[in-house]
Structure 1
């Protein structure tokens, strides 16, 4: 049982989502001898040094061989083990797609993939290490669950939730160390059920992953300037919370916010849902444009891609004025 104390939550924030995942897996392995963790030559960067030391018989390093890791992990899951495979998001999804499609999608084997340094997190290493297309790829795989935690507390909740789940899962971990805390105490995490963080009646901000904190900040600025905003953490991209969307058709505008390409991710999923409705609000999709960002530190890339709090607020104000105010 993971302890969601204020001390742990602060510590996890310092570690970042990847470090938190390693901490939680180690805690779970203390009580679950069937839990196995696989990595593709990223023990240190996966936050798994402690896990390797405490549970060497449950730790497998495949080297830089992502396809082998995913195939073996799926086979281990088929034999009843609770298996987590970790590597950079772009390598897991890009290099391992055939094994993901066949072993996890078609065969429905319950391997859990932790996609590290997703979005712009690995940006200092250049576009080759950025994972900005993973939502679009993974949510197109039948039988796949796709999760993007908002902070380190939600990362812990998500991993704890899926430990025994008998379905394939992709968990997208983004943001750096010293990640802003969205959830300051224990809460109920349910796969496929979004969480309302702030009420409002004019604009609905639906955010996922590291952008949830940005949405909260932007929502408050909009509120201070006379626009009532509801902010939702859509932590599960697939299955999408369609109940929430059905209850949101009265809003003047819906804004999706993600550290992912504007094509095929959260914004695309919401657009697909709204396209089947006779009447629906204006949709504003905010994400990474149709380009590969140059190498730079994470904070700089966030602003270069238009995902800073002030930039988000400006985009929403502009779209609202163009489409809503007559």
Structure 2
């Protein structure tokens, strides 16, 4: 059996920017002293005159991008999720969100899989923060194919977009001719009738593996890749709730305010089904290998499987 192809979505981000840059002269990339990590140096090496290094000044970077976006330029601001969603929240809210400017945020190193960088750099709050900004689109792609498609869709969308990309390499699962990315439209990867797993980001592939493990126990789980947290695909969520009767959300984010909360909001409005949230349980991360952290927090395939089995047995 051939080895599964794995690519970090932060690498996909850098490559997608270059692809777009060749097609669109109005695309500029802003960086805050982390280009090597966010992979925007890939863009800088091809388009040095359209790459702006702002230094360790994320708030200023967002303000600069907001201003230049009013001239017709499409700026992509790039840094770690902790420094964009966290440190520059004020500027994203007031300088980008409030006037609804055409600024795109490429936030890398989201979630606990940042690994050894530790709790200060592991942002498990970004979905919650960005969801609260009116008009902000929030996307977390699951693999290389989806990440590159998301960057292209973000460029074409008129308005602010927040995209989270990961540090670790993840399996390519969307490399098929039928794949189509559309903002606000989830993708059913596996059908099932006993429950629905709704996941995003690097945990989509883990959820697919967990579903295979559940199938060996006679549990037929539907798996949905909900790459867009806002606007959420409400119709797909409602359909799954009605047809399977149970919803389990899986995300590399706090169980407070993220994908699980967005799904629960929709399901509770019509009292359709119980929602069980799997994610980071209101704790800070810590310094360790990404694989060790995912296992400790029950966010690898085995952990997701065990969590769902415990939930179903209650």
Residue 150, structure 1, aligned to residue 176, structure 2:
no
The answer to whether residue 264 in structure 2 is matched with residue 295 in structure 1 is: no
In 1, distance between residues paired with 2:118 and 2:75? 30
The answer to whether the aligner puts 1:86 opposite 2:78 as a matched pair is: yes
| Structure 1 residue matching 2:224: 3-state secondary structure | strand
TM-score under structure 1 normalisation?
A: 0.92
How big is the shift at 1:123?
2.5
- Following TM superposition, by how much is the alpha carbon of 1:46 offset from its aligned partner in structure 2, in angstroms? 1.6
**Offset of residue 51 of structure 1:** 1.6
Partner of 2:266: 273
CA distance in 2, matches of 1:292, 1:162: 30
Residues 267-319 of structure 1 deviation map (CA, whole Å, 9 limit, x = unaligned): 11111112211x32221100001111221111111011111211111111111
CA distance in 2, matches of 1:267, 1:289: 12
In structure 2, how many angstroms separate the alpha carbons of the residues matched to 1:293 and 1:164? 35
Give distance in 2, aligned partners of 1:248 and 1:297: 35
Say whether the 8 Å CA contact 1:207–1:215 is kept in structure 2. yes
Matched position secondary structure for 1:121: helix
Q: Answer whether contact 1:253 1:320 (CA < 8 A) is retained.
A: no
Secondary structure in structure 2 of the residue aligned to 1:299: helix
State how 1:8-27 maps to structure 2 within 5 Å.
10=5, 13-14=6-7, 16-27=8-19
TM-score by length of 2: 0.95
Partner of 1:4: none
Residue aligning to 1:182: 173
Distance in 1 between the 2:154 and 2:86 partners? Answer: 23
- Aligned residue for 1:77? 69
Structure 1 unaligned segments of length 5 or more: list them.
Answer: 1-8
**2:41 equivalent to 1:39:** no
Residue 83 of structure 1 aligns to a residue whose secondary structure is strand
The reply on whether 1:52 has 2:44 as its aligned counterpart is yes
Correspondent of 2:98 among 103, 106, 113? 106
User: C-alpha separation between the residues in 1 aligned to 2:40 and 2:269?
Assistant: 44
Supply the RMSD in Å over aligned alpha carbons. Answer: 1.3
- Of the candidates 279, 302, 307, which is equivalent to residue 299 of structure 2? 307
1:194 shift after superposition: 0.2
Among 55, 59, 66, which residue is 1:63 paired with? 55
* Partner Cα distance (2:59, 2:79) in 1: 11
Q: How does 1:239-254 map to 2 (within 5 A)?
A: 239-250=231-242, 251-254=244-247
Gaps of 5+ in 2: none
2:230 corresponds to which of 203, 217, 238: 238
Task: Decide which moves more: 220-229 or 43-52.
Answer: 43-52
Residue 50 of structure 1 deviates from its aligned partner by: 2.8
- Structure 1 consecutive aligned stretches of length 4 or more whose deviation exceeds 4 Å: none
Partners of 1:175 and 1:152 in 2: CA distance = 12
Cα separation, 2, equivalents of 1:166 and 1:110: 6
Distance 2:58 2:136 in 1: 18
Per the TM alignment, residue 249 of structure 1 is displaced from its structure 2 partner at its CA by 2.6
Q: Could you report, residue by residue, the CA deviation over 1:108-150 in whole angstroms, capped at 9, with x for unpaired residues?
A: 0010001110001322111011010000110011010000001
- Residue matched to 1:211: 203
